[in-house]
């Protein structure tokens, strides 16, 4: 029982991030409104980014900007003092790609509304069947 | 990384996320999504990812919310679900 | 549909939770993610590029190809929005609203009637008419220049503090969007026209790719900033620092122009006459 609790406590934060991803995935599949689907897509993207950033955390380490700047040539830089900068770099690209995708998705939503006068998926499908 | 603060912010993130996909008013969903982005930015600042938090604060809580509100303004605001 | 969605969500959630049982615990310095490539980046950034912000150095120098293609992705998102939404034919609106400024009377001009010319007495207001709001206009006029200075500071100090090209470019774009929201879309179009925004998108990508091509002309590899030491006249380590600043400026210009362009097209649904 004790080791079960210790397993749960050490992995609990990963499970919370997975719960957040699943909220986003549920919104993409189950919601009928197009704007709600886009919000779900963005929730999924930011949850994945959160999961990645949590992989780079280190105990008792500071932010990845080298202390003492240009005077650091006299101090040796230890890798264990700074948190891992590599996930941050990859996730910066991911955030910017997310906002670009959001822009194009919202442009598509406006075009769909101009054509069908509604944003609900079942009404759009009904109008498509009549044509 | 003080785990109490992190727990509270995580709870707020989940509440904002569930709220953003549940409310029936699309403008309210856009604003809740802005709040969700800002809570995420706080979470990353707690974890030490300051560059990522800066980017998310400006992009998610700034530009993303404005684009959503502009799109809702040009389409309809009510939704059945 | 909802039961299918719940089933899929539970299935994937269960699979992912099963996978997390193998993960290292939180904050472990001996985790495999912290052991192989990143110690090299942390320990050798100062002596190879003299940039204290490790994230900026890795983003613009060690992994410069990724950032270049990301800039191209943003540029193509702006172009896609242009193709999707922009209507170039001038459609006559049904009614237009004009206001006579000295007396404050609002005129509604129906279709077919010639509208008065814009001058000091007549100004055109939007169809979703909001009252003339002095507080919003004045505070926006105060905030916009200071936020632009802050954005330029963020771009220039990406080497020493959190920041860099993306963040500064987004804040610049947001300041112009603030101006467009508080005043008119048309007055913002008069200052930063659509042609200027699209040209700046391309200019940003050109600066980034051009820096790489300049390195080839000087005899080294593509995007190898050490070769720029012949242009700047400094040692290769400082030349790498200056090369990082050049590409950050290119990225900032491109991101600003795309944000402004996206807002213009989304807020007016392609017509560029009335906005939020």
* Spatial distance between the Cα atoms of C114 and B7, rounded to a whole number of angstroms: 63
Report yes or no on C27 lying in a domain. Answer: no
Residue C107 and residue C200 share a domain: no
What average pLDDT does this structure show over C40-45? 86
Residue C84 in domain: yes
- Give the domain extent around B44: 24-75
Does residue A72 carry a pLDDT above 60?
Answer: no
Chain A residues whose CB is inside 8 A of the C36 CB are none
What's chain C's average pLDDT? 86
| Ranges A8-12, B7-11, C133-137, most confident | B7-11
Does B15 fall in a domain?
no
Residue range(s) defining the domain that contains residue C198: 33-91+133-268
What's the rounded Cα separation, in Å, for the pair A64 and A71? 16
Asked if residue C230 and residue C123 are part of one domain, the reply reads no
Q: Which of C43, C45, C55 sits opposite A89 (nearest CB)?
A: C55
Count structural domains, chain C. 2
- Residue C4 is assigned to a structural domain of this protein: no
Residues C86 and C97 in one domain: no
Instruction: Report whether pLDDT(C132) > 70.
Output: no
**Domain with residues A2-58+79-130, CATH architecture:** Orthogonal Bundle (1.10)
DSSP SS3 for C92: coil
Considering the domain architecture, whether residues C184 and C241 belong to the same structural domain is answered as yes
Write down the ipTM of this complex: 0.93
Looking only at the bridges linking them, the beta strands covering C122-125 and C105-109 are unpaired
Quote the minimal CA–CA distance from B19 to chain A in Å: 11
Q: Is the dihedral of CA C127, C133, C139, C145 positive or negative?
A: positive
Contact A42, A61 (CB under 8 A): no
pLDDT score, position C124: 72
The gap from C-alpha C161 to its chain's centroid, in whole angstroms, comes to 20
Are residues C67 and C250 in contact, defined by beta-carbon separation less than 8 angstroms? no
Subunits in contact with chain C (3 or more CB pairs closer than 8 Å): A, B
Q: Establish if C23 belongs to a structural domain.
A: no
pLDDT tens, position by position, C82-112: 999 888 877 766 677 777 777 777 777 777 6
Upper half-sphere CA count for residue C37 (Cβ side, 13 Å): 8
**Does residue B14 lie in a domain region?**
no
pLDDT above 90 for C155: yes
Q: How many domains does chain B have?
A: 1
The answer to whether residue C10 is domain-embedded is: no
- Average pLDDT for C123-146: 81
Where do the structural domains in chain A lie, given as residue ranges? Answer: 2-58+79-130
Which pLDDT value is given to residue A71? 60
* pLDDT value at residue C30: 78
Q: What percent of chain C has pLDDT over 90?
A: 39
H/E stretch holding C123: strand C122-125
What is the percentage of chain C residues whose pLDDT exceeds 70?
A: 93
Q: Which segment, A50-59, B2-11, C70-79, is predicted with the most confidence on average?
A: C70-79
**Among B1, B58, B69, whose Cβ lies nearest the Cβ of C174?**
B58
The whole-angstrom distance between B30's CA and the closest CA on chain C is 15
All partners of chain A with 3 or more CB pairs under 8 angstroms: B, C
Of the partner residues C55, C162, C170, the one whose CB lies closest to the CB of residue B62: C170
Residue C7 falls inside a structural domain: no
Between the alpha carbon of residue A59 and those of residues A6, A42, A78, the distances in Å are: 18, 30, 14
Residues of C with CB under 8 A from a CB of B: 27, 53, 55-56, 162-164, 166-167, 170-171, 173-174, 177, 181, 259, 262-263, 266-267, 269, 275-276
Q: What is the CA radius of gyration of chain A?
A: 22
**Nearest residue of chain B to residue C154 (CA atoms):** B54
Alpha carbons B24 and B4: distance in angstroms, whole number: 33
Q: What confidence tens digit (pLDDT) does each residue in B14-65 have?
A: 999 999 999 999 999 999 999 999 999 999 998 889 999 999 999 998 899 9
Q: Nearest chain C residue to B55 by CA: give it.
A: C167
Q: Tell whether the torsion through CA atoms of A101, A106, A109 and A115 is positive or negative.
A: negative
Residue at B60 is within a domain? yes
| C207-254 pLDDT per residue, tens | 999 998 999 988 888 888 888 888 888 888 888 888 999 999 999 999
pLDDT band at B1 (very low <50, low <70, confident <90, very high): low
pLDDT higher than 90, residue A2: no
Confidence check: pLDDT of A101 > 90: yes
Calpha distance C40→B78 (Å, rounded): 53
Residue C40 token pair: 């090299």
């Amino acid at each position: 029982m004790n080791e079960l609790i210790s397993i749960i406590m050490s992995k609990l934060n990963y499970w919370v991030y997975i719960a957040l991803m699943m909220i986003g995935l549920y919104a993409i599949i189950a919601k009928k409104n197009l704007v709600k689907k886009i919000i779900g897509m963005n929730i999924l993207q930011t949850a994945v980014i959160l999961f990645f950033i949590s992989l780079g955390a280190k105990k008792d380490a500071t932010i990845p900007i080298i202390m003492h700047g240009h005077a650091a040539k006299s101090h040796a830089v230890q890798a264990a003092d700074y948190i891992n900068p590599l996930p941050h770099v990859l996730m910066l690209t991911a955030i910017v790609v997310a906002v670009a995708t959001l822009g194009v998705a919202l442009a598509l939503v406006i075009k769909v509304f101009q054509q069908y006068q509604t944003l609900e998926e079942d009404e759009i499908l009904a109008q498509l069947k009549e044509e | 990384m003080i785990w109490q603060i992190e727990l509270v912010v995580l709870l707020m993130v989940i509440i904002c996320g569930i709220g953003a996909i549940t409310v029936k008013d699309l403008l309210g969903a856009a604003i809740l999504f802005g709040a969700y982005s800002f809570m995420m930015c706080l979470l990353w600042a707690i974890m030490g990812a300051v560059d990522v938090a800066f980017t998310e604060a400006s992009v998610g809580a700034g530009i993303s919310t404005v684009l959503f509100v502009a799109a809702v303004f040009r389409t309809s605001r009510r939704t059945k679900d | 549909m909802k039961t299918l969605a719940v089933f899929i969500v539970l299935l994937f959630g269960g699979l992912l939770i099963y996978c997390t049982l193998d993960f290292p615990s939180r904050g472990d310095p001996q985790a495999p993610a912290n052991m192989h490539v990143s110690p090299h980046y942390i320990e050798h950034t100062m002596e190879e590029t003299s940039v204290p912000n490790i994230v900026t150095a890795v983003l613009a120098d060690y992994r410069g190809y990724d950032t270049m293609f990301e800039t191209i992705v943003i540029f193509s998102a702006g172009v896609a929005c242009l193709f999707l939404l922009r209507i170039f034919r001038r459609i006559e609106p049904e009614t237009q609203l004009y206001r006579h400024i000295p007396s404050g009377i609002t005129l509604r001009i129906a279709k077919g009637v010639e509208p008065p010319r814009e001058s000091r007495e007549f100004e055109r207001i939007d169809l979703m008419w909001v009252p003339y709001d002095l507080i919003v206009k004045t505070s926006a006029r105060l905030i916009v220049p200071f936020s632009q200075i802050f954005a330029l500071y963020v771009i220039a100090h990406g080497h020493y503090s959190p920041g860099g090209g993306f963040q500064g470019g987004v804040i610049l774009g947001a300041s112009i969007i603030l101006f467009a929201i508080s005043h008119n879309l048309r007055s913002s179009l008069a200052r930063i026209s659509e042609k200027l925004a699209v040209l700046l998108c391309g200019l940003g990508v050109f600066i980034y790719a051009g820096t790489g091509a300049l390195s080839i002309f000087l005899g080294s590899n593509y995007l190898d900033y050490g070769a720029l030491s012949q242009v700047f006249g400094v040692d290769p380590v400082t030349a790498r620092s200056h090369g990082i600043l050049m590409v950050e400026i290119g990225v900032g210009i491109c991101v600003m122009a795309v944000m402004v362009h996206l807002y213009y097209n989304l807020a007016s649904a392609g017509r560029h006459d009335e906005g939020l």
